[in-house]
Amino acid sequence: MLENLKIVFHQGKQYIPDPTTVEVPGIFRGRPVISLEKVDETELIALCPTNAITNQPIQIDLGKCTFCGECAMRFPEKISFTKEYKIASNERERLIITEGEDKAIEVNPDTVRKEIHRVFGKSLKLRQVSAGGDNSCEMELNAANNVQFDISRYGIDFVASPRHADGIVITGPITKNMAEAVQICYDAIPEPKIIVLVGTDAISGGLFADSSAIDRSFLDKYHVDLYIPGNPAHPLSIVNGLLDLTRKLK
* Residues 8-47 contacting another protein, CB under 8 A: 8, 10-11, 14, 24-29, 47
Is there binding between residue 123 and another protein (CB under 8 A)? no
> Cα–Cα–Cα angle for 213, 88, 249, nearest 5°?
135
Is there binding between residue 234 and another protein (CB under 8 A)? yes
What is the full DSSP assignment across 184-222? Answer: HHHHHSPSS-EEEEESHHHHH-GGGTT-TTB--HHHHHS
Is there binding between residue 160 and another protein (CB under 8 A)? yes
Is there binding between residue 181 and another protein (CB under 8 A)? yes
Is there binding between residue 148 and another protein (CB under 8 A)? yes
Smallest gap from residue 148 Cβ to another protein (A): 6
With contacts defined by CB under 8 A, how many residues of the chain interact with another protein? Answer: 66
Can you name the residues that pair with 129 across neighbouring β-strands?
Answer: 170
The candidate with the shortest Cα–Cα distance to 126, out of 176, 163, 101, is 163
Among 136, 164, 183, 248, binds another protein (CB under 8 A): 136
Smallest gap from residue 35 Cβ to another protein (A): 19
Task: Annotate 93-108 with b (16+ C-beta within 10 A) or e (fewer).
Answer: ebbbbebeeeeebebe
| Beta carbon nearer to another protein, 8 or 249 | 8
Q: Please give the Cα distance from 207 to 69 (Å, whole number).
A: 15
Residue 86: Cβ within 10 Å count: 20
Q: Please give the Cα distance from 206 to 55 (Å, whole number).
A: 19
What residue ranges bind another protein (CB under 8 A)?
Answer: 3-4, 6-8, 10-11, 14, 24-29, 47, 49-50, 66-70, 73, 81, 128-143, 146-148, 158, 160, 172-173, 175-178, 180-181, 185, 201, 206-208, 210-214, 231-232, 234
